Chain A
Amino acid sequence: MNSPFPSRTAGPFGRRLKRERGARLPVMVITGFLGSGKTTLIKRFLGTAEGQGTAVVINEFGTTGVDDLLVRPSADETILLGNGCLCCITRSDLQQTLRRMLFEHERGELPDFRRVVIETSGLADPSPILLTFATDRALGDMFHVEALVTVVDAVTGSDTLAWSAEARKQAILADRLIITKTDIAGEGAISALTERLHVLNPNAELLEAVNGEIDPSRLSQPAPQHRNVFLAEAEHSDDIGSFVLTEERPLPWPVFARTMDTLMQLRGPDLLRVKGFLNVKDCNGPVLVQFVQHLAHPPVELEDWPDESRQSRLVFITRNVSERQVRELLAAIRNVA
């Protein structure tokens, strides 16, 4: 923050950005159980004008299904889809695949792409993918996870959520939840599922898709931050819960940084995802922060606040870390600062 080359047009976190992802390529991670309709949703999206120039990475790493055992180990294969899109089925490391795509793009060896969609295997816990973008310096510099989208099937979704902890985690961590197969599910099933999802993850945007049809712009836009909306603490499930921390007064950055450092040191593995924007003392625009377990993304200051409100707002998704604990820690550090 102490540059020998200060600028009147930059803030303490560097160049102020128009948007959170700055120059980085937007990434949409799509999770959801087998048969929930992920592939249909992606195929439909690629067929729209909005979906042009999308690179799809089908991420099968981490799964040990029967099919994988029958597949000979081979190099990742990138294939050209219609509509200027690419598809890469990766059975190796997601990091390596994305780095290779960047490298080939830089060399002009891959057709241009402007967005990456990662389709995970059904059982995948999205946390390692989020961690990948936080831990890998090259990926974090070049890619930005704009939305974690979880697809839930209206017919079997409620049952799956009842028996599968992985499915619940996918729902809890999502920025956007998409209910599919509403055309063949009964109304009762849809409303029960909607209610269940809202309880599990009140922060997520909830959308419905019929035959994979959804307004493509709703899919490709960054997940909304739900500013100024009162959100109750989510129901605890598998000891995982979420809450929203708000603060009206501007926060001195050292106070916030010390609070998060302490939390990460003491409870890092239990901070599944922390994301939001802060009103930082002496900054012009909101400062966007994101943490995944013990890792912090570099903070980003935006050029402007989107509206009149100057409230700080952070969504915490944690395992057995309560809002009260975080608040008390923040207050204690503020008092001694």
Chain B
Amino acid sequence: MSVAMSPLNKTAEPVSWNFKLLAQDDLGGFGGMGEGMSLQIAKDGRRVIWLAHESAPKNFTAVDVSDPRKPKVLVQTDLPKPYMRSNSLELSGDIMAVAYQTQKVGQQPAGLELFDVSIPEKPRSIAFFDCSGPHSRGVHQLWFCDGEYVHMASGAADFEPSHPLDDQFYRCIDVRNPSKPVEAGRWWMPGTRKGETPLPRHRLDKGYRAHNTNVYKQRKDRLYLCYIDGGMFIMDIADKSKPKPVSHWTNSPPYTGFMHTAVPLFDRGLLIVTDESTENNAEDWPKLVWIVDARDESNLVSIATCPLPPVDAYARRGGRFGAHNIHENPPVPTAWQSDQIVIGTFFNGGLRAYDISNPYQPKEVATFVPPPPKGTPAGAVQLNDVFVDERGIVYTVDRHTGGLYTLEMDF
């Protein structure tokens, strides 16, 4: 067979296995995206995905993805201050909650803003809930699926942490009257408030702070709370004014902390738990997606992790390599629900799907590692978050410049 010979490039080939790329959009040159992705079906039938930006100057972007092959930016808003970031957002119906965090404590505005997005091109602010304070950087992450309560990782004016990195804790905000949000309850990990016996610091010391605060309609009385260096908690929130821990699970030490997301698979008695890689060049490797046996919620047992490609093949590609966000089965009609497939983003390790039908042996079934997006300072793609709509269309975002990628699953 005659062949056109050429030396093979031995590093960092893009991979697209069982994911089919439909489109990429750098969102007008502001393609550095955070970890808030929520899909709305507008009153006129358009399908609109709302995306949080990783950092200033942009606040959020709405993209018409009615045709996922031709995404179209509908609106892109600016943050009022350059030291703010709105890393997280969620939509319930036509109400959108946006998290505002500042670079330093004491800066303003920091808190939660609610918008009416019934006309996607014209988001209208309904309310602002102030979370600023002398020891607060505001809200990092929030969960808002039932139209009634925002569950979030936030500081507060009246909370002084025992360590500066421990400033954000769990807060539940009642937004049943969206123009007047009020706090319904809060909980912090014992040891994180000034005056309490401080907790031992971890090697990388990322703080004992709340991160994801997931609540599902299948168990409205349960909160799945990740606490960065503090591991994760299942919380009893039957009485929202008095959240109580049911169980606690951590992998650190010996791992390096930053537990990020816990997604329950109720029918199966499983939890999918992620860590976040936060260090470049895989210096915090391994950062993993963990499968946890939660049949007895008071006794959580880790039974497997999702396999990643060899670290030496990815460590020096640029930026971070390791787990971060997964599709969280948010209990909304526009979200895909699966207890068989886990889809996650792994920074320069791209987007990966795992078949967990046998949870003891998760098996990778699809991979998408695109080339470095134009202009990225990382030198490699840094896929940051993922959302799958009820049709099975996959949306993923780059942390620096790549913006939005839309894909089809083919497995």
Contacts and interface: CB of A to CB of B under 8 A. Distances in A.
Contacts of B339: 7, 9
Contacts of A87: 1, 3
B251 interface: no
Given A3-B358, A23-B411, A111 B340 contact: no
Interface in A10-43: 10, 14-15, 18, 22-23, 25, 39, 42-43
Interface residues of A, number: 35
Q: Determine chain B's interface SS by DSSP, over half rule.
A: loop
A3 B3 CA distance: 50
Contacts of A231: none
A78 interface: yes
Nearest to B8: A80
B1 A108 contact: no
A112 B16 contact: yes
B122 interface: no
B340 A7 contact: yes
A219 B9 CA distance: 29
B332 to A, nearest CB: 18
Q: Determine chain A's interface SS by DSSP, over half rule.
A: loop
Contact of B341 (A15, A39, A58): A15
A331 interface: no
Given A87-B1, A112-B13, A7 B8 contact: no
Interface string B9-34: 11111111110000000000000000
A106 interface: yes
A6 B268 contact: yes
B197 interface: no
B53 to A, nearest CB: 28
Interface residues of B, number: 41
Interface in B250-282: 265, 267-270
A114 B16 CA distance: 8
Contacts of B268: 5-7
Contacts of B310: 106-107
A23 B367 CA distance: 10
B9 to A, nearest CB: 7
Contacts of B309: 106-108
A9 B13 contact: no
B1 A14 contact: no
Contacts of B5: 79-80
Nearest to A108: B13
A81 interface: yes
A8 B267 contact: yes
Nearest to B18: A23
Contacts of A81: 3-4
Interface in B327-374: 338-341, 355, 357-359, 363, 365-366, 369
A22 B411 contact: yes
B4 A15 contact: no
Nearest to A83: B4
A330 interface: no
A164 B7 CA distance: 41
B6 interface: yes
Interface string B302-333: 00000001100110000000000000000000
A222 to B, nearest CB: 14
B374 to A, nearest CB: 19
Contact of B15 (A7, A42, A108): A108
Contact of B13 (A15, A42, A79, A111): A111
B2 to A, nearest CB: 8
Interface in A76-133: 78-82, 87, 105-112, 114
A141 interface: yes
A112 B14 contact: yes
Nearest to B270: A5
A188 interface: no
B242 interface: no
A4 interface: yes
Interface of B: 1, 3-18, 265, 267-270, 293, 295, 309-310, 313-314, 338-341, 355, 357-359, 363, 365-366, 369, 411
Interface of A: 3-10, 14-15, 18, 22-23, 25, 39, 42-43, 56, 58, 78-82, 87, 105-112, 114, 141
Given A56-B1, A111-B8, A111-B13, 13 more contacts: A5-B359, A7-B268, A7-B339, A9-B340, A18-B411, A23-B355, A42-B1, A80-B6, A106-B310, A108-B13, A110-B8, A112-B17, A114-B16
Q: Which 8 interchain pairs have the tightest Cβ spacing? A: A23-B365, A23-B411, A107-B313, A14-B357, A15-B357, A5-B268, A15-B340, A108-B13
10 contacts: A5-B269, A5-B359, A7-B340, A9-B338, A14-B357, A23-B18, A23-B411, A80-B3, A80-B5, A109-B10
